[in-house]
Structure 1
Amino acid sequence: MRPARRPFGSGPPVSAFTLGTMRALESPDHMAAVLGAAMGAGINHLETAPAYGPAEPFLGQALRQLQSQGLAPEGGWLITSKILPGCDLAAGQEQLRSSLRRLGVARLDGLAVHGLNTPEHLIWADRGPGADLLQWALDTGLATQVGFTSHGSPALIAEALATGRFRFCSLHVHLFDQTRLPLARAALDAGIGVLAISPADKGGRLYDPPPQLLADCAPFHPLELAYRFLLDQGISTLSLGAAQPADLVWAERWWRGALAGDGASRPRLAAALERLGRAGAERLGADRCGQCRACLPCPNGVPIPELLRLRNLAVGHGMEAFAQERYNLIGRAGHWWETLNAEACQACGACLPRCPHGLPIPTLLADTHRRLAAAPRRRLWG
């Protein structure tokens, strides 16, 4: 038995969790062990990409290894891979064929534009060579449906969804970053599948929560609370980039609980979320940024809401390690993340009359930099 699968665009239904394959890269045998644990957690959807180092060939070998043992989820594995924007039609066609060869499959259940992050990327995918490539993949049956992943602005994501070209999307929608939640809801209402990108890691390093956050989320573990919040919001599936089988413990726990019908009730969930929000608001006091985005645009291009969100997490819930990690990627990850940190603030004051809460934004930005600036860490890929 298994819990009901969840609709995902125009493709087959998917599990509540999706196994991301960018970390289980020790060997094909290691990948196979993680796949086995994913099966044990009720997972049927795999997400990979040529940009994830040896992920595709390792995954293809692991799938053949499990197939030889007669192991597969009910209905078989569903596989989504990606293609970076910018190539011409012929190069994109060869990239897709190469992915299929590495994976050892005849088609993809999902083909996504990997990082639709800029207006140029959207033009490529909607009106340029990318549009021809995506249509060719559908017409030839090499992909069941097409979608995109995005680290871009809410406005860009809204524009991409409005094209009508995509049947699924992968977005940064998290318990501790709900900026894109309205976009996710709109996509779901339109029948577009939504995958939440890395709620365990990029959602706040919730697999290793600080003591303050553990107390704030009680009686739930922070990761469990985040998972339950997103699934309760109707998000189609949550990506889980497991590096080892043990990383799937919370997904398996959720699956076993769903089978037994002992999931947390909505009143318990709502009460825990209310306590969490109240705890953070009390610690931040009058300096809490409400993430309304009324301060934008900044004349100097400072991403004010995102920077103050990191300050909210550090001060409000003791999430300094996560906030520092994200803050120190700024300017070092190209179009995958913000390019300006709080040092770009010129204290011009343009944001001050716009803030409905009267926040001293330049002062808070300076405090953010003082708290979070540290030696940078290298991104996993790129």
Structure 2
Amino acid sequence: MQYVELGRTGLKISRLGFGGIPIQRIDQPGTKALLKAAHEAGINYIDTARGYTVSEAWIGQSLEELGLRDQFVLATKCRALTKAEMQQQLALSLENLRTDHIELYQLHNPSLQDLEQILAPGGALEALLEARDAGVVGHIGVTAHLAAVFEKALEVPEFETIMFPYNIVEQQGAELIERCAKAGKAFIDMKPLAGGAIEDGRLALRYVLSNPGVTVAIPGMAAPEELAQNVQAAENTGALTPEEEDACSRVRKALGTQFCRRCNYCAPCSVGIQIPNVFLFQGYLNRYGLADWGRSRYASLPVKASACVQCGACEPRCPYNLPIRQMMKKAAQDFGE
């Protein structure tokens, strides 16, 4: 296992982390077994979130029962915008994770407007800074799905880490990853397998980890065979072979006509549909094995896919020429609304 510094935090972590989203579909004993195996394989970085239902609690209980809390760097996140909300959410994270400190606490996928509130007086950042001064939080980061938020986060000195999607098919953050490294911020790669759309997990992780700008990749794991495959893929972080490059090209061609990269160039929708979020939640429904969670996230959208009037204004804006109208029909069918 390769280990690197997490930006300028002083923390030394494995380049392969443990993504805690999919454990929602197993149970706490299964989580405990996975974390034991992850530790034995040399993984020492765990990613979870307040929004991942039971993930924090099962991870916390498992680490306590295994006696391994101090062997892992814990990273979690929440969507709080105000100081009061963050104080409440942080307290819940500490309780769930059964710990008195969390190495990395992140603002979870704020919009540009959300970020303004977070950074303003009385915003969530105030609570995290106070928690950091008190030793409850070690470091502060942010996660994003939109390149504009990633770019803005680069300008915020308090953010020591930035998490963003990057994989064989999602390249909208490639240039920003380089800027992240130059700014001394760690880059945490979410969705290295494109939410399960890339079937060859070994190739997907080889591609991501061959980029020296990627500090750590956090593929979701819910089965021992997934863990073993990911560990094996992380053993070689050198440059891709010509054969692997060709294989990556084939993956791009296969997914290029059907995969949303969440660049948001399709916006604004004429009826207010959050197009990238529809496709993101559809991925949880169909690929991650998290149907209930995908449906609950989709239910929170103010305008559903069925509201699409098929005007087609979004399609010329898509740099990947996605058939968005057709894809929106399929999403409406999948969710039933």
1:154 corresponds to: 147
Residues of 2 paired with 1:154 and 1:194: CA distance? 13
Give the counterpart of 2:81 among 83, 86, 110. Answer: 86
Question: Is residue 238 of structure 1 aligned with residue 228 of structure 2?
Answer: no
Letter in 2 for 1:76: Q
Decide whether aligned partners of structure 1 residues 59 and 296 sit closer, same or farther in structure 2, where only a CA change above 3 A counts.
closer
Decide whether aligned partners of structure 1 residues 59 and 368 sit closer, same or farther in structure 2, where only a CA change above 3 A counts.
closer
Question: Is residue 205 of structure 1 aligned with residue 183 of structure 2?
Answer: no
2:21 corresponds to: 22
Q: Deviations over 1:295-348 (max 9, x none)?
A: 7666738999969x99xxxxxxxxxx76xx99x98x93657x997689455246
Give the deviation of 1:365 after TM superposition: 4.2
Question: Is residue 223 of structure 1 aligned with residue 204 of structure 2?
Answer: no
Residues of 2 paired with 1:59 and 1:239: CA distance? 15
Tell me if the contact between 1:6 and 1:13 (Cα under 8 Å) persists in the aligned partners. yes
Tell me if the contact between 1:345 and 1:365 (Cα under 8 Å) persists in the aligned partners. no
Give the deviation of 1:15 after TM superposition: 0.9
Secondary structure at the counterpart of residue 46 of structure 2: strand
Structure number with greater Rg is: 1
Give the deviation of 1:23 after TM superposition: 3.1
1:213 corresponds to: none
Give TM-score scaled by structure 1 length.
0.69
Letter in 2 for 1:112: Q
Residues of 2 paired with 1:27 and 1:347: CA distance? 43
Give the deviation of 1:282 after TM superposition: 9.7
Give TM-score scaled by structure 2 length.
0.77
Alignment of 1:1-382 (within 5 A): 2-25=1-24, 26-67=26-67, 76-89=71-84, 91-116=85-110, 118-127=111-120, 128-151=122-145, 153-200=146-193, 202=195, 204-206=196-198, 209=199, 222-233=200-211, 234-255=213-234, 258=235, 263=236, 266=239, 268=241, 270-277=242-249, 281=253, 300=270, 332=298, 334=300, 343-347=308-312, 364-366=323-325, 368=327, 374-376=333-335
Give the deviation of 1:145 after TM superposition: 0.7
Q: Deviations over 1:243-297 (max 9, x none)?
A: 2323201222135xx3xxxx375251x442245426855998xx899x8x89766
Residues of 2 paired with 1:355 and 1:56: CA distance? 36
Residues of 1 paired with 2:169 and 2:306: CA distance? 20
Residues of 2 paired with 1:224 and 1:57: CA distance? 29
Secondary structure at the counterpart of residue 117 of structure 2: helix
Tell me if the contact between 1:11 and 1:145 (Cα under 8 Å) persists in the aligned partners. no
Secondary structure at the counterpart of residue 23 of structure 2: coil
Letter in 2 for 1:205: A
Residues of 1 paired with 2:90 and 2:174: CA distance? 31
Tell me if the contact between 1:115 and 1:148 (Cα under 8 Å) persists in the aligned partners. yes
List gaps (5 residues or longer) in structure 1.
210-221, 311-320
Secondary structure at the counterpart of residue 80 of structure 2: coil
Give the deviation of 1:230 after TM superposition: 0.9
Give the deviation of 1:122 after TM superposition: 0.3
Secondary structure at the counterpart of residue 145 of structure 1: strand
Secondary structure at the counterpart of residue 4 of structure 2: coil
Tell me if the contact between 2:168 and 2:252 (Cα under 8 Å) persists in the aligned partners. no
Letter in 1 for 2:228: V
Residues of 2 paired with 1:264 and 1:197: CA distance? 17
Tell me if the contact between 2:167 and 2:194 (Cα under 8 Å) persists in the aligned partners. no
Q: Deviations over 1:63-121 (max 9, x none)?
A: 12211xxx57xx721101222223443x42243233223322221110111221x2332
Q: Deviations over 1:215-254 (max 9, x none)?
A: xxxxxxx211111111112311111222232320122213
Tell me if the contact between 1:301 and 1:340 (Cα under 8 Å) persists in the aligned partners. no
2:283 corresponds to: none
Residues of 1 paired with 2:274 and 2:23: CA distance? 35
Decide whether aligned partners of structure 1 residues 377 and 39 sit closer, same or farther in structure 2, where only a CA change above 3 A counts.
farther
Decide whether aligned partners of structure 1 residues 296 and 240 sit closer, same or farther in structure 2, where only a CA change above 3 A counts.
closer
Residues of 2 paired with 1:373 and 1:35: CA distance? 37
Give the deviation of 1:43 after TM superposition: 0.6
Tell me if the contact between 2:271 and 2:308 (Cα under 8 Å) persists in the aligned partners. no
